[in-house]
Amino acid sequence: MQFDLTKLEWTRPPKKYEIGADKIAITTDLWQRTYYGFRNDNAPVLQLRTDERYFSFTVRTEFDSKRRFDQCGVALYLDSDNWLKASIEYENDRFQRLGSVVTNHGYSDWATTDIDANIKSMWYRLSRRESDYCIECSADGVEFKQMRICHLWDGAGEITFGIYACSPEESSFEARFTHMELGPCQWKAHE
């Protein structure tokens, strides 16, 4: 399998972006009915469409986030009520949040861990096993650590997945995506 840049589709394109042979740069949230009542659904997502039931997608992100909630990472976006994402979300000059969100039928959860605000790069691997998904992260692109395993109720058929970046407080930063690879599923079944 190959991550074919010519087959990528935007869900809400950003005002400024650049797609090259080996890098995508986006200069610019995906929250839905959280426990505190906030709702936002306007992030640009650049995705590939597939009905492949077993695969892994890997990407390296680099970012210069500086305002609260600035974020970039991987996303699987079916529609505004069914999606998942993993990213680093900037909080302040001391820490940011490495986390993931899963939204099923319009209801989101949020799982995070605080990391140092000086981290400006992260690798992600999104793996699919039918309608179940595994999200992993890595500092070096070699050793991946599990962030989350989840199920998408409407995620068994054709899906769209890829990358996203946004700045919900209307600031601007550049997110760069490199080393995009699509291949066999790296998330092994339990024996």
pLDDT tens figures, 57-111: 999 999 988 878 889 999 999 998 999 999 999 999 999 999 999 999 999 998 9
Residue 191 forms part of a structural domain: no
Residue 190 forms part of a structural domain: no
Cβ atoms 42, 12 nearer than 8 A: yes
Cα–Cα distance between 59 and 144 in angstroms, integer?
A: 12
Reported pTM = 0.87
**Between 157 and 35, the higher pLDDT residue:** 157
Predicted local distance difference test score (pLDDT) of residue 4: 79
The domain tally of the chain equals 1
Structure-block tokens of residue 37: 């009542």
Residue 188 forms part of a structural domain: no
Predicted local distance difference test score (pLDDT) of residue 191: 66
**Between 7 and 58, the higher pLDDT residue:** 58
pLDDT in tens, 14-48: 777 888 888 888 776 444 444 445 455 556 788 99
**Which one-letter DSSP state was computed for residue 189?**
P
Residue 147 forms part of a structural domain: yes
For tokens 């699509």, name the residue: 182
Residue 132 forms part of a structural domain: yes
**The pLDDT of residue 115 is above 50:** yes
Per the structure, the complete domain to which residue 53 belongs is given by 5-183
Cα–Cα distance between 72 and 92 in angstroms, integer?
A: 16
Residue 26 forms part of a structural domain: yes
For tokens 């597939």, name the residue: 50
Cβ atoms 10, 45 nearer than 8 A: yes
In 3D, which of 22, 7, 18 has the Cα closest to residue 181? Answer: 22
* CATH code, 106: 2.60.120.200
At residue 3 the predicted structure's pLDDT band, cuts being 50, 70 and 90, is confident
Residue 109 forms part of a structural domain: yes
Predicted local distance difference test score (pLDDT) of residue 14: 76
Residue 88 forms part of a structural domain: yes
Predicted local distance difference test score (pLDDT) of residue 33: 40
**The pLDDT of residue 163 is above 70:** yes
Q: What is the mean pLDDT of residues 145-168?
A: 93
End-to-end CA distance of the chain: 26
The contacts of residue 63 (CB under 8 Å, 6+ apart) are 70, 72, 88, 120, 121, 165, 173, 174, 175, 176
